[in-house]
Structure 1
Amino acid sequence: VTRTFVDRDRRTPADPSAGILAAPRRMLPTTIYYPARGSLEAGSLTPDAPPARGAHPLVLFNPGSPGTPEDYEALLVEWAAHGYVVAALEFPISSVAGPDDAAWEDLPAQTKDARFVLDRVLDLDPEKAGIPEIDDDHIAAAGHSFGGATALSLASECCRDDRIDAVLALAAVTVTEAGPALKQTGGPILFVHARSDRAVSWGEAVALCRKTAAPKRFLTIEEIRGLRAHVIPFLGEGDEYSAIARPAMVDFLDGYVLDRKGARARLERAGAGTDIAGLTRCPADPEPTPTTTPTSAAPR
C-alpha cells in the first residue's frame, strides 16, 4: 500500500543540482508493508493481500540517501512477515539527491517528516486503507545511514518522541553539522555497523553508542569492506552478513518492542561462533574510520 502524505505547513527547499524545485509543501510518499492473512509464502510480497487480523506493532523506516522503500524491500518485507506493519517514507530532498549540501541542510526537517508520517499512519482507518490495525503502544523507528540519523533523533533530547519504544540504527550517520543534534540519546537502541564501512564511520557510531543510555547493543560486522560494507548487511540477500544482521534486527524488535525475553536472549547470541560479527554493549576504544563520498549504489 502506498500513500502520499502532504505537509502543507512546511516547505521544500530547491536543490538545483538534483533537479528539485522549491515548493510550499512537503510531499512524503510512504509505502506500507504489512502481515497478510492466509497461506501466502512467508516473506513474499503480494500487492493488496488481505491484511492479517488483530493489532500489529509498527516500524517507521527512514531510508538512506539516495534511497527509497523499494531499495530496502527485502528487509522490510521480512519485518512484515514477522508481524510488523512497516511504514517506509521517502524524503523530499535526500531520497532523490543523495547526500549533497542541500540534503545535509534539510536533514533536521526529516525528523519532522518522520513525525508527520507517523501521525498520519496512526490516523488511517485500517479497513479503508487495506492494512491491519496498528498497535500504537508498540512502535519502533529504524533508519539506514542518512535515515539512521533521523531515527536516532526520535530518541534524542532534541526531538524525542515518546511513542517510540526502540530504535534500529543501521550504519547510521551520527555526526551532523546542521542538526538534528544527537545528544542525550536513550535506548533501547541496536546499532548495526560494519567496522570497515567507508561511507559512514563505525568509530563515530561507537562514540554515540558509548554516550547512549541503556539498554543498548552494538552489532559489529567484520571482514566486509568499503562501500559494500555500508549496504550488504541491510540490502543484501543470501549472503553471510545479512544472514546474521537480519535475524538480530528481528530479535531486537521482538525483544524490546514486544518485550519477549526469548528474543532478547537470542539477540545476545548474534554472531556467536563466527568471525564475521560480534555483539557487545558498545565496542571499546573506537578508532576513526576514513569515509568517502558514497555513490548512488550506496545510500547514505
Structure 2
Amino acid sequence: MRTQELSLARGTNRPLPTTVWRPTTGGPYPLILFSHGLQAAPKNYASLLTAWAGAGFVVAAPAYPFTAGTASNYNPIDVLNQPLDASHVITELVGRGGIDTQRIAAAGHSAGGVTTLGMFSGRRDTRLKAGVILAGRQLIKTPLTGPAAPLLFVHGKRDRTVAYADGHTVYDAVTWPKAFLTFPDGGHVAVGAELDVITEASTDFWRWTLYGDEAAKSRIPKDATRGSLGTLANHL
C-alpha cells in the first residue's frame, strides 16, 4: 500500500490534514473515513487502519483542528462540528478519483465514535453504507436517520472514559442491522490480542458491507470471539 499526506481544509479556519492509506494498484476502491479520539492523531491507529487498507480499502483519517493532539486551541466541544468536517474530507477524496462512490463508510474511536454517530444522525451523510463505532457514544441523543446502514459497535466493559452503558444505549436504539462486540475486561483503548480481534472482525465487517462478501459476514462471529476475549451480540 502507499501513504499520502493531504493538506485539506473546510473553509479558512478548519484545516484538516489527512493521512490516506490506499492499495497500490487497481481500483476504484471503497473508502473508509476514520475519526480519531480526543488529543489523538491518525498515526495512533495506524496498525488498524493499515490492516483495512491492506484488505482492499482506501482509508482516510483527518486530524481535526480543535481536538487532535497537535491542536493549539484545544476544545473538546468542537467534536460537534466534526461530522461536517468528515463529510467534507469524503467529498475531497471522491473528487480526487480512485474511490468507488457507491461504497463509502465511516468509523471512529471515542470522540471519533461520537463524530461517526453524528454522520449517521442529525448531520446524516447519505453516502455512508456502513459504520464502526469504537468506544463511542452520542453527546446529543438524536435518532439515527436516513437509509439503513449496518453498524458494528465495539466497547470494553471497564472503559473509564466512555461508559460501556452509554455505548450500549445507542446500540439498543438502532433499528438497522447491527452487532455489538463486548470485551468484558477491556478498557478505553484496545491493545494486543484485543486489537487483533477488532482488526479481524472489523475487516470482515467491511468486506461484507462494502464488497458484499457473504463468506466474510459468516466469519464475523468467530473473529469476534477468538481467544474468548470478547462476546458478540449479532443482529446483522
TM over 0.5: yes
- Partners of 1:191 and 1:160 lie apart in 2 by 18
Post-superposition Cα deviations, 1:106-138, rounded to whole Å, max 9, x if no partner, equal 1221111111111111111x4xxxxxx111110
- 1:30 corresponds in structure 2 to 18
- Partners of 2:207 and 2:103 lie apart in 1 by 10
Post-superposition Cα deviations, 1:35-83, rounded to whole Å, max 9, x if no partner, equal 12xxxxxxxxxxxxxxx11211110010111111111111111111001
Q: Residue 93 and residue 277 in structure 1: after superposition, are their counterparts in 2 closer, same or farther (change >3 A)?
A: same
State the Cα distance separating 1:240 from its structure 2 match. Answer: 1.8
RMSD: 2.0
State the Cα distance separating 1:170 from its structure 2 match. Answer: 0.7
The one-letter amino acid paired with 2:95 is D
Alignment of 1:184-263 (within 5 A): 184=144, 186-224=148-186, 229-232=187-190, 236=191, 239-263=192-216
- 1:66 corresponds in structure 2 to 39
Task: Name the structure with the higher strand share.
Answer: 2
C-alpha contact (below 8 Å) 1:66/1:95 kept by paired residues: yes
C-alpha contact (below 8 Å) 1:140/1:164 kept by paired residues: yes
- Spell out structure 1 runs of 4+ moving beyond 4 A: none
SS of match in other structure, 2:176: coil
- 1:171 corresponds in structure 2 to 135
- Identical aligned residues as a percent: 31
The one-letter amino acid paired with 1:184 is L
C-alpha contact (below 8 Å) 1:4/1:28 kept by paired residues: yes
C-alpha contact (below 8 Å) 2:135/2:155 kept by paired residues: yes
State the Cα distance separating 1:243 from its structure 2 match. Answer: 2.0
The one-letter amino acid paired with 1:108 is L
2:143 counterpart of 1:143:
no
C-alpha contact (below 8 Å) 1:35/1:81 kept by paired residues: yes
Alignment of 1:41-190 (within 5 A): 52-96=25-69, 102-104=75-77, 106-124=78-96, 126=97, 133-156=98-121, 158-172=122-136, 174-176=137-139, 179=140, 181-184=141-144, 186-190=148-152
Which of 1 and 2 has greater Rg? 1
The one-letter amino acid paired with 1:194 is G
- Partners of 1:97 and 1:257 lie apart in 2 by 32
Q: 1:5 aligns with which of 1, 5, 8?
A: 8
State the Cα distance separating 1:272 from its structure 2 match. Answer: 3.4
- Partners of 1:32 and 1:277 lie apart in 2 by 30
Q: How many residues align?
A: 229
Q: Which runs of 5+ in 2 are unaligned?
A: none
C-alpha contact (below 8 Å) 1:65/1:97 kept by paired residues: no
- Partners of 2:226 and 2:135 lie apart in 1 by 23
State the Cα distance separating 1:101 from its structure 2 match. Answer: 8.3
SS of match in other structure, 1:165: strand
The normalised TM-score by structure 2 is 0.90
SS of match in other structure, 1:241: helix
- 1:39 corresponds in structure 2 to none
C-alpha contact (below 8 Å) 2:22/2:58 kept by paired residues: yes
SS of match in other structure, 1:66: coil
Post-superposition Cα deviations, 1:5-56, rounded to whole Å, max 9, x if no partner, equal 1222xxxxxxxxxxxxxxx5211100110112xxxxxxxxxxxxxxx11211
- Partners of 1:206 and 1:278 lie apart in 2 by 14
C-alpha contact (below 8 Å) 2:204/2:217 kept by paired residues: yes
Q: Residue 55 and residue 273 in structure 1: after superposition, are their counterparts in 2 closer, same or farther (change >3 A)?
A: closer
State the Cα distance separating 1:175 from its structure 2 match. Answer: 3.4
SS of match in other structure, 1:111: helix
SS of match in other structure, 1:160: coil
The normalised TM-score by structure 1 is 0.72
Post-superposition Cα deviations, 1:201-252, rounded to whole Å, max 9, x if no partner, equal 111111110101220000001223xxxx2112xxx3xx22112111000011
